[in-house]
Amino acid sequence: MLPVQRLLALLILAQCAITASLSPRVVHESRSSLPTGWTPARRADPATRLPLRIGLAQSNLDNLDAYVLDVSHPESPNYGKHWTPAQVAQAFRPSRDAVDAVREWLMEEGMPPEGVKVHTGGGWVQVDVTVEEAERLLSTEYYVYQFGDGEGRSSEHVACKEKYHLPEHVSKHVELVVPTLHFDVHVKRERVAEKRSGSKNMGQSRSGIVNPKFIGEIETALTELADCDKQITPDCLRALYDFVYLPVATDRNTIGIVEYTPEAYLDQDMDWFFGNYSPSQVGQRPALVSIDGGYDQTLFQGFSVNGEADLDLQYAMALVGATQNVTLYQAGDLYEGASFNNFLDALDGSYCTYEGGDNPEYDSVYPDPYGGYTGKENCGTAPLSNIISTSYGATEASYGAAYTQRQCAEYGKLGLMGVTILYSSGDTGVAGNGLCLNADGTESSSGTRFDPGFPGSCPYVTSVGATQIQAGSTVWDPETACGQYIYSGGGFSNVFSTPAWQASAVDDYLAKYPPPYASDVFNASGRGYPDISANGLNYSVVVDGTLQLVAGTSCSSPVAAAILSAVNDARLAIGKSTIGFINPTIYTPPFMAAFNDITTGNNPGCGTDGFAAAPGWDPVTGLGTPNFPKLLALWLALP
């Protein structure tokens, strides 16, 4: 070796030493407990080979809000100039810097350059290492964990203990490294599900709690507007929200409803409902978009697997009318089901291929290792709809901040593409999915802090709460917050701060109607939800061949979607854009005045009365229910 080369080599080594010492190792991810049923069995054999995959962080996410507002704020010169999927993919793809930082670090650590592979799309870097090398790279210890269900079934999984580290300058470019802390919990889930229901109900939705509340069977269908307090029908909703509209741009307009298998509608339920309330639609069905093997299963039937889908589709389809097709996104197979992320992966290939993301603790992995759907995970294959309504929900606390933030950003990207995302706000008031928070942030039924729902707490989602007609009142009287059978989910996020477009509405509420709670009960600086509301009590729905009464924000979301879809139709018909992400628009004073303000009722939970509805925005009914003609006129006047 020539001295010059030797010198260069020394310099390079010195350089590495400097980089390494300048960049201390930081904890990149940690977990406080193991998933139930798993115990450490032994240290992993140091010679075992691991395919280490490093998921890179998306770039530019700190600009997301500015990009979204630029096309969604009614005063922006670029209002309505939504981005194409390709523009979105390009703007957020992991940066060259991220790829370089990870690659250089691996080489400094002695990995052979030819062993370090960057995958197409640039979302992740892979290197095959031994357990010993992985322990050194990540300053962690790998164990073999064992799962046993006490019935002779067991499984093993290699994972690291408690936490792993990355150099600080690498950590900021990385979303996560696998295999590390994450458990592929399919074994556990499947076995537990089988055990619980005696192998009968293998299907399970992974996306939060489903199901409207079952109230009772209906003996006589009431069809007079005077009876809308007792039974809600499509005509009641048209009268309540002055919603009369004949679509004219059905060749361009789209609206989608999301269902998670095993939830499924039944053909005969649709036809009976249409026969009662919208005869011209008998025989009509939603257009199925299957995601990860999703289909309308009929193996399992009952209110818990048909109630939600029947409700959502019967009302969305009846309200948009016979000429507007409704897309049904049916997500997940019968074994694993699907999560919100599985659905989002199917809508947006750039979210899917960016490998940092899905967490097998919450998200299903396809092909399904247990049979069911053996195809590849759907990735960017599902067409977007202009409005997408989902009546499923979970809580922020059940996922954790990093997971909710990543998913929320994806809702923002859909807004950037002109899609309106609606989620029901939840049916248990301030107690998200019926639980409350303890001081340490865990959920329990004895917690005393309000437990925000998710995805409704994500600012890029339009969260829909529930109202009701007061007993003995009519469709022409003011509604109140739903106070029978269910309470409208609402409150303030612990993860997302109050967005600028909402700040004055929230400040007004907190100043004029200060909730009587200590500061640790709810987070006054969080994003307030819901944004809007619609009737959610005593809907007449056909489920499993019987006419039933149901309640819930599950009713409210598809109804709001159908009304907003008519606004899209009218705008598309005159060559304007879709309404896209509506929140910055609806919190402006003219739009606020175009909602029927709900000023009575509340949303109890966690041993309290919850929040009180009040004039203006409130964390029970949002801005109120839609006044369709007023909203339509305002939206038609926007560019």
Interface contacts to ligand NAG, rule CB under 6 A: 215-216, 229-230, 250-251, 287, 325, 468-469, 471, 484, 494, 497, 523, 525-526, 538, 549
Maximal C-alpha separation, the chain: 97
Classify each residue of 434-450 as buried b or exposed e, where b means 16 or more C-beta atoms within 10 Å of its C-beta: bbbbeeeeebeeebbbb
192 or 249: CB nearest ligand NAG? 249
Tell me the closest approach of the beta carbon of residue 359 to ligand NAG, in angstroms: 21
Query: Measured in whole angstroms, how far is the alpha carbon of residue 600 from the centre of its chain?
Result: 29
- CA dist., res. 20 & res. 14, Å (int): 10
The residue of the chain with the least Cβ separation from ligand NAG equals 497
What single DSSP character describes residue 44?
A: P
- CA dist., res. 629 & res. 611, Å (int): 30
Q: Which residue has the tokens 């290792």?
A: 369
Tell me the DSSP string of 245-283: ---S-TTT--EEEEEETT----HHHHHHHHHHH-GGGTT
Q: Is 569 annotated as a binding residue?
A: no
Q: Which of 175, 229, 263, 308 is an active site residue?
A: 308
- CA dist., res. 58 & res. 174, Å (int): 9
Half-sphere exposure of 596 (CA within 13 A, CB side): 23
CA angle (204, 334, 406) in 5-degree steps: 60
* Phi-psi group of 403: left, alpha or beta (phi > 0 → left; psi -120 to 50 → alpha; rest → beta): alpha
Q: Is 597 annotated as a binding residue?
A: yes
Cα dihedral 293/299/301/306 (nearest 10)? 20
Tell me the closest approach of the beta carbon of residue 562 to ligand NAG, in angstroms: 16
Q: What is the 3-state secondary structure (H, E, C) of 547-607?
A: EEEEECHHHHHHHHHHHHHHHHHHHHHCCCCCCCCCHHHHCCHHHHCCEECCCCCECCECC
170 or 541: CB nearest ligand NAG? 541
Q: Which residues sit opposite 480 in a β-bridge?
A: 468
Q: Is 257 annotated as a binding residue?
A: no
159 or 551: CB nearest ligand NAG? 551
Q: Are 345 and 352 in contact (CB under 8 A)?
A: yes
- 308 given a catalytic annotation: yes
89 or 397: CB nearest ligand NAG? 397
Q: Which residue has the tokens 């304007």?
A: 576
Q: Which of 269, 310, 312, 368 is an active site residue?
A: 312
106 or 495: CB nearest ligand NAG? 495
Packing angle of the helix pair 303-320, 553-573 (nearest 10 deg): 30
Q: Is 598 annotated as a binding residue?
A: yes
Tell me the closest approach of the beta carbon of residue 81 to ligand NAG, in angstroms: 25
At 420, the amino acid letter reads T
Nearest to 503 by CA among 559, 429, 583, 425: 583
Tell me the closest approach of the beta carbon of residue 524 to ligand NAG, in angstroms: 8
Q: Are 526 and 509 in contact (CB under 8 A)?
A: no
11 or 471: CB nearest ligand NAG? 471
140 or 540: CB nearest ligand NAG? 540
CA angle (544, 548, 552) in 5-degree steps: 110
522 or 595: CB nearest ligand NAG? 522
Tell me the closest approach of the beta carbon of residue 471 to ligand NAG, in angstroms: 4
- 463 given a catalytic annotation: no
Q: Are 460 and 423 in contact (CB under 8 A)?
A: no
Tell me the closest approach of the beta carbon of residue 459 to ligand NAG, in angstroms: 10
Take residue 621 and report the two structure tokens written for it.
Answer: 């009914």
Q: Which of 290, 364, 425, 554 is an active site residue?
A: 554
79 or 485: CB nearest ligand NAG? 485
Q: Are 388 and 420 in contact (CB under 8 A)?
A: yes
The DSSP bridge pattern shows strands 387-390 and 539-543 to be unpaired
**Active-site amino acid positions:** 308, 312, 554
Q: Provide the annotated binding site for Ca(2+).
A: 597-598, 616, 618
Q: Provide the annotated binding site.
A: 597-598, 616, 618
